[in-house]
Amino acid sequence: MKKTTIYDIAKELNITAATVSRALNDNPRISEDTKKLVLATAKKLNYKQNKLALALKSGKSKNVGVVVPYINRNFFSTVIRGIEEELNPKGYNVIISQTHEEGKKEIDIVQNLLNAQVDGIIISASRQSKGNDHFKYVLSKNVPLIFFDRKKEIEGISSVTLDDAQGAYQATKHLIEQGCKHIAHMTIDLSLLIYQNRLAGYKQALADHGMEFNPDYVIALQSEIVAGKDAAKKLMGLPEPPDAIFSATDLGALGAIQYLREIGKKIPEDFCVVGFSNEPFTQFMELPISSVDQSPLLMGKTAAKVFLEQIESNDVKIEKNVVLSPSLEIRKSSQKTLG
């Protein structure tokens, strides 16, 4: 079947192809009546604009790259939803890539997105992200780059993050208010700023409430459930085991709870646990888990808005750092007292 061209529309309306082209591209020189007539005829003839040709002409592909460690984590998939809800109505398409926490893959993805002529990149840095050259290269190409959740401290690059330190502070303070005296912290990768901030918030809450920081109570783990179980086992083997855990990940909290129940601990009567991220499973379990909510939908929408501001101002090096406020969702895993 022969594709409809602007010449077919011009012939149908007995006007020039140049007039059709200007009308389709919303040129102010063309009257509103002519634009409506051209658009109606284009629809009737099933005309499809050549997006590649438009991109070459305008210098805009209307594609935005979104890079996440894993797409199957509720947090990241909800951030993507927020980005799409903001960008799709503006005519942008989202290209999603996963790094699987691999530094080399992150570098390759960024280069591939640039090769694909994306108008911007919104990214959460991988756990193994090394160096900043690939990020600085994006800026040198005058392409907006926005970090979300996991950021790198690079001048001229915008970010949308959560106040992780405040979230950790709230979680630890809540455990202290429940009467917990020995609070452990499960972290993940302290080379990443978000986990550094969560550790800092935990330590600050202890200090503010006159509790001594014990480095033996800080244990690193991967975000899998089995790692949470192993970490809880190690903590409970200490000469003076903890009576509460603040985990920097919900999966770690889940693993810890599984082990604690295996050894006969009653939760929250004997032991309190709080996670971080507010994954959907935390509220639907037999024992709902307290967790710090990261507002992923708002984070995605905000990152998209920062991109739009940069693309509209035509200055990608205007640095804007947005920090969202966390909220602690208190559930049965940590609530000894009501109120």
Rg (CA), the chain: 26
Same domain, 305 and 286: no
Please check whether residue 103 lies inside any domain of the structure. yes
Same domain, 81 and 97: yes
Please check whether residue 339 lies inside any domain of the structure. no
Taking residue 94's Cβ as centre, other Cβ atoms within 10 Å add up to 17
Mean pLDDT rounded to a whole number for the chain = 91
- What is the number of domains present in the chain? 3
- Using pLDDT thresholds of 50, 70 and 90, give the confidence band for residue 97: very high
Judge whether 122 and 146 are in contact, CB under 8 Å: yes
Greatest mean pLDDT among 20-29, 128-137, 237-246, 306-315 lies in: 237-246
Percent of the chain with pLDDT over 90: 71
- List, for residues 35-69, the tens digit of each pLDDT value: 899 889 988 888 876 655 555 455 577 999 999 99
CATH (domain of 66): 3.40.50.2300
Greatest mean pLDDT among 77-81, 113-117, 187-191 lies in: 77-81
Task: Give Cβ neighbours of residue 284 (< 8 Å, ≥ 6 apart).
Answer: none
- List, for residues 68-84, the tens digit of each pLDDT value: 999 988 999 999 999 99
User: What does pTM read for this prediction?
Assistant: 0.80
- Domain extent at residue 221: 164-294
What pLDDT shows up at residue 56? 47
- List, for residues 205-218, the tens digit of each pLDDT value: 999 999 999 999 99
Element (H, E) at 13: helix 6-13
Please check whether residue 335 lies inside any domain of the structure. no
Same domain, 151 and 176: no
